[in-house]
Structure 1
Amino acid sequence: MNPLSFVVPFDVPAALAQIRAEGARFVAGGTNLIDLMKERVMLPQRLIDINRLALDTIEDDGHGGLLLGALARNAATAYHPLVLERYPLLSAAILAGASPQIRNMASNGGNLLQRTRCHYFYDVGVPCNKRAPGSGCPAIDGLSRQHAILGASPSCIATHPSDMCVALRVLDAVVHVATQEGERTIAFGDFHRLPGEQPHIDTTLAPDELITHIALPAAPRFAAHSIYLKLRERTSYAFALVSVAAMLDIGEDGLIREGRVALGGVAHKPWRVPQAEALLQGAPDAARFAAFADRLLEGAQGQGGNDFKILMARRSIVRALAMAVAGTHNNTGHGSTVMTRGAA
């Protein structure tokens, strides 16, 4: 048994004071942390229950965007009228993840901080650089079906599990953080890290910082043509083999003025290459989408067991973009289109 203390602060300064204790961890919904504690992957000495903090609101930012409280639950976020109206892609991505029971408990901030579901990471009986730096990565020569094809390193080929984060990446979200020295913001593209030689560090959030809310800039041009496509082993409660969040701004002439695409299930973080998105401008045809897919997947490399993901990702990108051209209405509020084995 791992002894621990449990404290309940009632404001942000008190929470920040508590997190500086050795072995302290924040807990909100606990949908990931408690699982990790049960498997003895993480053994905090102090749990700081932050559910009493006033960080659960979802509100207009006064400029057409939204402020999502870090403690707002995933389900409340997905079904919020302003999210459905302005960011149907985000609603669809959230509803594609986990189960209704977990979405009712999981917090927005916790979703950003959830850890990989790599089976080697969860098995304390085997080496894992993410869990024990320097011990090795058995996934590289082992079972790699769920693992990364982009942005990996010799130290780690794990993938980030979140669906919500893939949508937040194309929405250019900004993470607002409280520290004892004040507040700071982190662009969403900079929030999660690639593994490099330090795969045990998942994000650029410092251990003594607290996410307060997530800001979504106004994006009315994309609301009518967005899609979240998720390919997984089964239709319920499964993590993505490949997922695609795609948004298009299409003019009255039928031409794409701007496009944004991010991938999930393929890297240590939601994968987006903004410099490649200029390739999407123009007539919405399969050749254009295929050329963009090739650019987005440049450098992709499998480990044998996950080689299929490269072709699956390419076809999924083309398919998702074609679905986005057709319109958002088929994807609003009902999670993802689902496939099982094989390519899209």
Structure 2
Amino acid sequence: MIPFRYEKPDDASAAVSLLSREPRGAYLGGGTNLVDLMKLEVARPDVLVDVRRLTSGTIDDLPGGGLRIGAAVSNSLLAADPRVRRLYPMLSQAVLAGASGQLRNMATCGGNLMQRTRCVYFQDLTTPCNKREPGSGCSAIEGHNRDHAVLGTSPECVATHPSDMAVALCAVDAVVRVQGPGGERTIPFGEFHRLPGDTPERDTVLEHGELITAIDLPHLPLAAHSHYRKIRDRASYAFALVSAAVALKVRDGTVRDVRIGLGGVAHKPWRARTAEEMLVGAPATAVAFRAAAEAELAAARPLSGNGFKVPLARNVIVGMLNDLAKEQR
């Protein structure tokens, strides 16, 4: 591992001030992804700023409903919280579908949002990768791309975002709270992560030095009727080929409201807004569900090795909507 300096400031403001002066520095929370990348020499920060104890480690009720998740809350604590399990079951299920128990105990909710892709070329220093070394090329486009994106790609990058938790947060319209050199701001979750475009090395809209302090979950009664489903090569400790976080409200046989987030298909958690718009007011039938899923996936551009993801995503969406509709009959 390349040598680095370790700093442990007394509060969040000091951490932000310190990192903003260190262009090659990075924040350290649980370290479950960053430390691995440092071992591979993919990440080479010269300063690590420990923020694990500088942000809230609790989940608090918000006025008027909703929850505020402190950035230092562990993934295990989030998944086990009775309020999360009751009001946002797909979020609890998504967290439990990720990693292992040991990693969930260590990983923070703020850090979960900052995960880098698990693309094999990103992690292999001997191969070109625009995300790791801008301008070098994307090896996955003509290489091994079974696990890669089919939506929102660019000629520069076809990597997928690895987080399960982020897929559920995308579906419930969460808000990310950050503190930076210019003060505090909030970012709607759907705008937090970026599609690759011409700058795939930038995963998020955060400016250097900005620190995630909390994640707000809005009051969303619909989310109580939700599930998360993850399709993967093995039953545990594997990233999604396709995943979906779906919430549905049906009354009198008609879809009144719906939220659909997809994972494993894009460079960021993918909000299926085309499908949602088609479904609101439509009959809660398998035919309508399939038409909406196909409309969402019409923009898919599969690569040589991942064409199976398109019908797989369609079937996951339809199956979950059918299951949720049956629960409300």
The answer to whether the superposition gives a TM-score over 0.5 is yes
Q: What is aligned with 2:115? A: 114
TM-score normalised by the chain length of structure 2 = 0.97
Structure 1 runs of 4+ off > 3 angstroms?
A: none
Aligned pairs for 1:193-208 within 5 A: 193-208=194-209
2:91 maps to 1:94: no
2:283 maps to 1:283: yes
Q: Do the aligned residues in 1 keep the contact of 2:98 with 2:239 (CA within 8 Å)?
A: yes
What does the per-residue CA deviation read over 1:256-277, in whole Å, with 9 as the maximum and x for residues that have no partner? 2011111100000111132431
Q: What is aligned with 1:182? A: 183
Distance 1:26 1:326 in 2: 45
What does the per-residue CA deviation read over 1:114-154, in whole Å, with 9 as the maximum and x for residues that have no partner? 00000000001111000000000010000000000000000
Paired residues in the alignment total 326
Q: Do the aligned residues in 2 keep the contact of 1:272 with 1:296 (CA within 8 Å)?
A: no
What does the per-residue CA deviation read over 1:275-301, in whole Å, with 9 as the maximum and x for residues that have no partner? 431322332111000011011112101
Distance 1:279 1:22 in 2: 45
3-state DSSP class of the match of 1:318?
Answer: helix
What does the per-residue CA deviation read over 1:52-89, in whole Å, with 9 as the maximum and x for residues that have no partner? 21421100011110000011000101101111121111
Aligned in 2, Cα 1:15/1:321: closer, same or farther, shift over 3 Å?
same
Distance 1:59 1:27 in 2: 23
Aligned in 2, Cα 1:129/1:54: closer, same or farther, shift over 3 Å?
closer
Q: What is aligned with 1:192? A: 193
2:324 maps to 1:324: yes
Q: What is aligned with 2:211? A: 210
Aligned in 2, Cα 1:258/1:123: closer, same or farther, shift over 3 Å?
same
**Which moved further from structure 2: 13-22 or 126-135?**
13-22
Q: What is aligned with 1:81? A: 82
Q: Do the aligned residues in 2 keep the contact of 1:9 with 1:52 (CA within 8 Å)?
A: no
Structure 2 portions without partners, runs of 5+: none
Q: What is aligned with 1:58? A: 59
Shift, 1:190, TM fit:
0.4
3-state DSSP class of the match of 2:93?
Answer: helix
Distance 1:295 1:206 in 2: 35
2:154 maps to 1:168: no
What does the per-residue CA deviation read over 1:219-269, in whole Å, with 9 as the maximum and x for residues that have no partner? 11331x211111000001000000011101222x24220111111000001
Q: What is aligned with 1:226? A: 226
Instruction: Name the aligned partner's letter for residue 257 of structure 1.
Output: R
Q: What is aligned with 2:295? A: 295
Q: Do the aligned residues in 1 keep the contact of 2:68 with 2:217 (CA within 8 Å)?
A: yes
Distance 1:249 1:294 in 2: 20
Distance 2:214 2:59 in 1: 9
Distance 1:293 1:141 in 2: 28
TM-score normalised by the chain length of structure 1 = 0.92
3-state DSSP class of the match of 1:132?
Answer: coil
Aligned in 2, Cα 1:237/1:218: closer, same or farther, shift over 3 Å?
same
Instruction: Name the aligned partner's letter for residue 145 of structure 2.
Output: S
Aligned pairs for 1:226-265 within 5 A: 226-251=226-251, 253-265=252-264
Shift, 1:22, TM fit:
3.3
Instruction: Name the aligned partner's letter for residue 238 of structure 1.
Output: A
Q: What is aligned with 1:270? A: 269
3-state DSSP class of the match of 1:120?
Answer: coil
Distance 1:121 1:237 in 2: 20
**Which moved further from structure 2: 68-77 or 267-276?**
267-276
Structure 1 portions without partners, runs of 5+: 329-344
Distance 2:291 2:192 in 1: 28
Q: What is aligned with 1:104? A: 105
Distance 1:151 1:174 in 2: 22
Aligned pairs for 1:14-25 within 5 A: 14-20=14-20, 21-25=22-26
Instruction: Name the aligned partner's letter for residue 266 of structure 2.
Output: A
Q: Do the aligned residues in 2 keep the contact of 1:18 with 1:24 (CA within 8 Å)?
A: no
Distance 1:5 1:273 in 2: 42
Distance 2:69 2:204 in 1: 19
What does the per-residue CA deviation read over 1:177-235, in whole Å, with 9 as the maximum and x for residues that have no partner? 10122110100010000001100000001111000000010111331x21111100000
What does the per-residue CA deviation read over 1:278-329, in whole Å, with 9 as the maximum and x for residues that have no partner? 322332111000011011112101111001111111111111111222349x
Distance 1:292 1:211 in 2: 34
Instruction: Name the aligned partner's letter for residue 85 of structure 1.
Output: R
Distance 1:164 1:28 in 2: 16
3-state DSSP class of the match of 1:122?
Answer: coil
Distance 1:22 1:94 in 2: 32
Identity across matched positions, percent: 52
